[in-house]
Structure 1
């Protein structure tokens, strides 16, 4: 009888020990390692925000390559230029996917970091802003949508945003063919109204290939309308994947470019 009791006791102790060991493996890290210090830091940040009245507006963005753009305002709502801004971006629930970057200044209190959101969903952005002796930390949480599928110029017109204008580009015939005249049409609008007086060109090429330059310089063809033509060469390797680099310049605005893709027919 005694051996049976001893075995039962040992089994019970083993179960308890196993539970403790498993618990040690699955334990979660402390969410806030130093809650008192964290609380003091939070109060300092809150008082700094209230004293300066600075605010941040994050431009809409989608997941994928690109830049994170935002604008800073002072307490009176005026653009806040001349600031140094360091960004820390991560998931609000876990901090996963965290990255940091320094922002570069743009006009009108605007700034941009040459990084973007790698995936859709909620992201928390921390802005550490310094101008002179003034410092403040601002935090925003944004919900980033998935990027829309890339537009295919061989299937129909595509619209891109360039320097505050919407450019709708169309190629004809569809699909484009090598060694045949390619007609290039563009409709350019700013604020919904036709935009005249712009300089617009489309350069065709293949990524990673030194190609004979094919470029269409578009001429005015009506209110907000532009037209040009080009000829695509035939790639000796048999590749048919092309890129169309659209360039727009207009008075009072910096030049801007965007890239679209398509496949040509033989």
Structure 2
């Protein structure tokens, strides 16, 4: 971010005078796209980690036994996601940081290349995405008859209802509502298939986990946006730009990133066999 603010390269698209001063690269739309993606991934991943940390606190210290049970179940459900989602998409944020630096990002003059090398380990030592996906779809979603999966869906719907009351968040509410409905449809179809053909049902578990993770992180972003919008209306403790940044990052994630895995919803819903049908000798 600091580099993007200081590095000058190029001119506004409408500027035709070659002698005019160059502008900081943060003024270019594509650089802002990469910075927005990094913000959405990193702060979204942080929100996911903090939410599950709160569940651990509730599991251990809540006075109400029912609350402890709910927290423990939700934590178990989200464990494959909190292990896998940040390790995949925060690594992508590292990759984008290198890209923002251009050729400098690939050298040791700046630390971003080391950040990438260090964080590349995370999708490996925390368990591969494929295994985490099978754990989520094959075990965690179905545990206790889907009790905690339904509890999570209920909490997401509560947030959607609260955010729908704020005009500025209604577009995001519609986008997440559609994604949640698709996830529910996919989950129902794959859970039914898993009883008769578990190999086919779990063949695309990695993609299922990516869809599930995006819905959860989208939900957490919408929660942040709700808090930010209220703070802007009522005068929060942080600078105005802090809350506006949260709103813009939420919009970016729900408009640009959430649709990506959901675009393959039909692959999941139909339990596509492409990966199963490819013979080993054909690679």
**Do these two structures clear the TM 0.5 threshold for a shared fold by scoring above it?**
no
TM-score (norm 1): 0.27
TM-score (norm 2): 0.26
Greater share of helix: 2
The structure with the largest alpha-carbon Rg is 1
